[in-house]
Amino acid sequence: MVVSESRREPKPVDGPRSPGERAPVGRRTRSARVLGRVSLAGIAVSVGLAVVVGAAGPSVAEPPLGPPTGWPPYAAGGGWPTWIVVWLLAAATALGGVSLGLALVALRRGWQPDARRLVAASVLACVALVLVPPMGSADHLSYAAYGRMATRGLDPYYYSPYRVMRGGDPIAKAVEPPWLHTTSVYGPVATAEQALASWLGGTSVRMTVFALAVLNALAFLLAGSLLYVATRGDPARRSRAAVLWSVNPLLLYAGVAGAHVDVLMVAALIGATLAVRRSGLLAGLLLGIAMAVKLPAALGAAGIAWAFRRRLESLFVAAAASLAVVATAYALAGPYAFDQISRASKYISLATPGRLPLAYLDEAIGPVQTRLVLRLAGIVALAVVTVLLLRWAHRRFGPSGTGPLPAGPVPDDPAAAADERLRLAVWVTGAFAVAWLFTAPYALPWYDALGWAFLALLPSSRLDALFLFRGVVLALAYVPGRVELPKEVAHVTLQFRAHVAPYLTLAVLVAVVVVLLAVPGRTRLPAAPTPK
């Protein structure tokens, strides 16, 4: 049974306390409860601000969706002035980040909110965000165009939306630069989702975008449900998972309000990770589906392989199943499915540490060599941070049986062995996912869904605060989010994105390395004296 909050509290200790003595348990519990409620109130206001901005109508953050049809998403016609939208969304992002930080502090102090209520609140938040138009980017318009091309028999990996726009197609005409001349970078399963939305929406931009938003919101809620199931039997872990995923305002804004396909990938990858308890076949199939949404899901292969390393038959079945799904999906997608992926792999986003040496390297060795050097540096950094993270986790959590490496012999009990496989898969996949997000030369705010999903299953640590700070920096760097902006807004946005954010994300990466290197090994207790 899930417990909302402990109603039985130890009685406070009477008498004065020394300066270094902690407050009584009952008082700490009450303060954590107050802090937790304040954090939830802040999260509600943050999400509410995003809903209000969306309902106000087309703006610098919200592309127009054409005339009203009587169906969602609903919005007023005029929209708000540019700077009001920018400041409201920046305030929503900052408030959401601070509120989530307070929630993490409250959880560490013993706060245990009812996870069922948080999941229910997540459903309400998703409904509210889906009923207003997507905001924060214009990606959903390119999704709609790729789906439209697929339903019309055109290859979205070969043709750009411009090809369809020239024929007067109303969906393609809504696409904004630079996506108008860009072929699809998404996997075949993502294209299938986009085609389904196009089939449901027909020639209406508004209806197609609404179908996309609903499908992605359902994927977000499915991921939250899987995390809820994964943490059964432990109210504290279940509360943590619900806070870090279901009511995480950064995810609700980037993943749901932005209607980004990343949440579909994460839902499939969570399912693949949880499936290691029962079936190598199911784990492999779901991993293949996740990779056919977006290729970064391949990071999950490391965790699944490590979990099955002592069950070679299951490991072979999982590998064969995932490869079969990916090979079949991309074979059906056609020979051009990797073209845009290859081009996108050379991109460097402005808010990451890779942006800092870009100009100097371009001048010294040329743009092509610079991209190659930065890609190789990103791979090396990923490997180093992953190894450090696994080492840190084992030294801090391993001996207690919660870390990433085996704490002893394989359990004889099948249920205990299944739990052990799940523990290993979560730790190793989580390490690769979080390390990739800290070190990738190209990262956007909605990519963080992958990291939050696995942090939600891991013990509380300083990584939470560092990942949260980085997430807030990235989110603020992409407010209001659209590519074509008024000159005055573009100047401020790009100044922060290109000249402030990369230094902050570099500082976070350095802090992560310092934290991972600074944790000592566990102190061994002296052996008990032998009785004479």
Q: To 10 degrees, what angle do helices 280-291 and 300-307 make? A: 170
Between CA 220 and CA 259 the distance in angstroms is: 10
Q: What is the pLDDT of residue 531?
A: 39
8 Å CB contact between 28 and 110? yes
- Joined together, the tokens standing for residue 400 give 């207690």
Contacts for 357 with CB less than 8 Å, ≥ 6 apart: 374
* Residue 459, token pair as written in the block: 């013990």
pLDDT at 67: 83
Q: What's the one-letter identity of residue 252?
A: L
Tokens 């391949």, residue located: 298
Tell me the angle at which helices 414-439 and 462-477 cross, rounded to the nearest 10 degrees.
40
All residues at 6 or more sequence positions from 311 whose CB lies less than 8 Å from its CB, including other chains: 280, 421
Check whether the bond before 178 is cis (ω within 30° of 0).
yes
Tell whether pTM > 0.85. Answer: yes
Q: What three-state secondary structure class fits 444?
A: coil
Amino acid at 275: A
Distance, in Å, from the CA atom of 303 to the CA atom of 315, rounded to the nearest integer, reads 11
Taking only the tens place, the pLDDT of each residue in 285-302 is 999 999 999 999 999 999
d(CA 403, CA 67): 54
Query: Token pair for residue 87?
Result: 């400041």
Q: Mean pLDDT for each consecutive 10-residue tract of the chain (532 residues)?
A: 35 39 59 95 98 94 88 86 95 98 96 96 98 95 96 94 88 92 95 97 95 97 97 94 98 95 97 96 98 96 95 95 97 93 88 91 89 92 96 79 65 82 95 96 96 96 96 96 88 93 97 89 42 38
Selection from 423, 439, 418, 430 nearest residue 390 by Cα: 430
- Judge contact between 392 and 514, C-beta under 8 A: no
CB-CB neighbours of 344 under 10 Å = 11
Task: Using alpha carbons, select from 449, 443, 402, 462 the residue that is nearest to residue 426.
Answer: 402
Average pLDDT, the chain: 89
CB atoms within 10 A of CB 313: 9
